């Protein structure tokens, strides 16, 4: 893949139109008028993570991403535990994408006076389409993701241009969204949590190391490009969405978060854009599902390569050069998860939020561990040529502090992440804890029963 293909592949994970239409209103609701500043802070913090991540990618040229980095920095036992958490987290996100797609398609059909259809029908169709697409060479899905991303970004850009054309709403432009003093008027911690959540995806660039041209250049460019592109898009869109509603923005975001963006673009551009927004949210989630499926397939493939999972999962398709068996296994498990949970919740109400929210917390925990691993890795090896103490120590330390704080907020406000009443769904966190324990326990078993397998964990057969 080229830099552009990799960039679009991980950007699709972020689902920009779904983030702008769905998450930004929640950020405004909790962050108040200064939500734009919250997105600036989130972008800066994740750039700090990217600096350490990219620096370690160059010094540790392995395709295992979180699995490889945590194994090298903190140790193989927590590394395999982290790998299992990654697989479970991304599988939950993938399953959540399928459920969300089914529920949204059903709602969209009804909004245009169509017949009532079961959500699981569209979920099954989405599962089939994504599973087939991800079986082939990565460039096939990359091209589809590229088209989807262009349409998504185009809709958001149309909205932003329309706001500028109309002079920024009835109250005009204001510097209030950039005023730090305004942060005290909202729940800035919760707002920051939502802001960070919409960036996820860029952290998977190193997983595709074996499938890109000139990885030492492609991965850094795609990583930084993803953070800067979505960061800029969210900052501008948040500011203009706040500007459109003026002093009523927080109230609208609180009372009608789902309709805040679609109503605004429908009023400013044309009524048809309200329905178009819902339509592109659907395609956005399908693109996100393709991206997530590709990510978790690479984790399973790498674990198969290291014999931490059956080695048959590491077989590459002779023609498509894709991790086909890993991809099929991911599709099967995701389908089973949706089937079982769907039978337990026939209406699907809140199911997507629970799966996607829990998976997001898992990834945020792993990002914090990676930042710590970067500092430990370079503390042992020293600053490599071409790097600096800022890249090796300062940036990842700041990122670790920010990400640990974000994880604390996610647990304290878990009801906002996965839905339900306060404290109602905290038990779901046991899924992540159990995943880590099983992975770490498996590594301990390998250490004493299969030392050759233990020695190979973290893709130790490659790179430094």
The encoded tokens of residue 355 equal 């799966």
Give the model's pLDDT for residue 113. Answer: 85
Does residue 116 fall inside a structural domain? yes
Q: Which residues contact 332 (CB under 8 A, 6 or more apart)?
A: none
Please state, in angstroms and rounded to a whole number, the distance separating the CA atoms of residues 294 and 413.
30
Give the model's pLDDT for residue 461. Answer: 47
Give the model's pLDDT for residue 363. Answer: 92
- Average pLDDT score, the chain: 88
Cβ pair 399, 44 in contact under 8 A: no
**How does pLDDT run across 62-107, given as a tens digit for each residue?**
776 789 899 999 999 999 999 999 999 999 999 999 999 999 999 8
Does residue 463 fall inside a structural domain? no
CATH number (domain holding residue 226): 1.20.1740.10
The encoded tokens of residue 172 equal 């005009």
What range defines the domain where residue 388 resides?
3-456
Residue with tokens 């700090």: 48
The DSSP code for 20 is I
Q: What percent of the chain has pLDDT over 70?
A: 96
| Greater pLDDT, 191 or 461 | 191
Phi, psi of 68 (to 5 degrees): -70, -45
For residue 138, what pLDDT band results from cuts at 50, 70 and 90?
A: low
Q: Look at residues 23, 80, 59, 53 and name the one whose alpha carbon lies nearest to residue 457.
A: 80
Longest Cα–Cα distance of the chain, Å, equals 70
What's the domain count of the chain? 1
| Greater pLDDT, 317 or 16 | 16
Mean pLDDT throughout 297-317? 89
Q: Is the pLDDT of residue 299 over 70?
A: yes
Give the model's pLDDT for residue 459. Answer: 66
**How does pLDDT run across 201-229, given as a tens digit for each residue?**
888 788 788 777 788 889 899 999 999 99
Does residue 230 fall inside a structural domain? yes
Does residue 244 fall inside a structural domain? yes
Does residue 65 fall inside a structural domain? yes
The 10 Å CB-count burial string (b at 16+, else e) for 223-237 is bbbbbebbbebbbbb
Give the model's pLDDT for residue 152. Answer: 85
**How does pLDDT run across 359-389, given as a tens digit for each residue?**
999 999 999 999 999 999 999 988 888 889 9
Q: Is 189 exposed, middle or buried (0-12, 13-18, 19+ CB in 10 A)?
A: middle
Give the model's pLDDT for residue 396. Answer: 95
**Residue 427: C-alpha distances to residues 339, 392, 412 (Å):** 21, 36, 13
Mean pLDDT throughout 253-281? 90
Q: Is the pLDDT of residue 173 over 80?
A: yes
Q: Is the pLDDT of residue 460 over 60?
A: no
Q: Is the pLDDT of residue 13 over 90?
A: no
Mean pLDDT throughout 433-453? 96
Q: Which residues contact 296 (CB under 8 A, 6 or more apart)?
A: 86, 87, 90, 91, 94, 330
Give the model's pLDDT for residue 205. Answer: 84
Give the model's pLDDT for residue 452. Answer: 92
Please state, in angstroms and rounded to a whole number, the distance separating the CA atoms of residues 303 and 310.
8
**How does pLDDT run across 236-247, given as a tens digit for each residue?**
999 999 999 988
Give the model's pLDDT for residue 148. Answer: 78
Does residue 93 fall inside a structural domain? yes
In 112-181, which residue ranges form alpha helices assigned H by DSSP? 119-133, 138-165
| Gap between the terminal Cα atoms of the chain | 24
Does residue 464 fall inside a structural domain? no
Residue with tokens 């734009």: 36
Does residue 362 fall inside a structural domain? yes
Give the model's pLDDT for residue 463. Answer: 38
């Amino acid at each position: 893949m080229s830099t552009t293909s990799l960039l679009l592949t991980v950007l699709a994970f972020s689902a920009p139109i779904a983030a702008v239409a769905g998450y930004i209103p929640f950020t405004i609701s909790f962050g108040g008028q200064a939500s734009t500043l919250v997105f600036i802070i989130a972008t800066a913090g994740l750039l700090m993570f990217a600096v350490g991540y990219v620096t370690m990618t160059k010094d540790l040229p392995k395709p295992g991403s979180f699995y490889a980095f945590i194994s090298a920095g903190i140790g193989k036992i927590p590394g395999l535990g982290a790998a299992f958490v990654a697989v479970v987290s991304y599988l939950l996100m993938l399953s959540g994408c399928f459920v969300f797609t089914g529920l949204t398609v059903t709602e969209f059909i009804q909004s245009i006076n169509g017949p009532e259809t079961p959500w699981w029908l569209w979920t099954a169709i989405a599962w089939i389409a994504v599973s087939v697409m991800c079986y082939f060479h990565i460039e096939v899905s990359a091209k589809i993701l590229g088209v989807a991303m262009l349409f998504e970004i185009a809709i958001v850009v149309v909205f932003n241009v329309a706001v500028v054309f109309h002079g920024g709403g009835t109250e005009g432009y204001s510097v209030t969204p950039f005023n730090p003093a305004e942060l005290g008027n909202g729940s800035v911690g919760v707002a920051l949590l939502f802001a960070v959540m919409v960036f996820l995806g860029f952290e998977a660039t190193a997983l595709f190391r074996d499938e890109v041209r000139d990885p030492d250049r492609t991965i850094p460019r795609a990583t930084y490009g993803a953070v800067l592109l979505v960061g800029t898009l969210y900052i501008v869109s948040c500011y203009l969405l706040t500007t459109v509603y003026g002093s009523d923005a927080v109230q609208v975001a609180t009372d009608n978060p789902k309709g805040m963006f679609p109503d605004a673009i429908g009023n400013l551009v044309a009524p048809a854009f309200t329905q178009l927004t819902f339509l592109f949210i659907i395609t956005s989630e399908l693109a996100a599902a393709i991206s997530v499926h590709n990510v978790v397939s690479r984790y399973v493939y790498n674990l198969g390569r290291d014999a931490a999972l059956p080695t048959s999962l590491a077989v590459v398709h002779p023609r498509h050069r894709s991790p086909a068996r890993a991809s099929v296994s991911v599709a099967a498990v995701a389908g089973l998860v949706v089937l079982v949970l769907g039978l337990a919740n026939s209406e699907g109400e809140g199911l997507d939020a629970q799966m996607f929210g829990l998976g997001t917390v898992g990834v945020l925990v792993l990002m914090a561990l990676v930042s710590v691993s970067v500092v430990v890795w370079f503390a042992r090896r020293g600053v490599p040529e071409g790097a600096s103490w800022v890249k090796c120590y300062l940036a990842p330390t700041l990122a670790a502090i920010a990400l640990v704080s974000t994880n604390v907020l996610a647990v304290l406000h878990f009801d906002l992440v996965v839905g339900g009443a306060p404290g109602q769904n905290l038990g779901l966190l046991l899924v992540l804890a159990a995943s880590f324990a099983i992975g770490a326990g498996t590594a301990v078993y390998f250490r004493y029963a299969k030392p050759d397998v233990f020695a190979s964990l973290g893709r130790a057969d490659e790179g430094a």
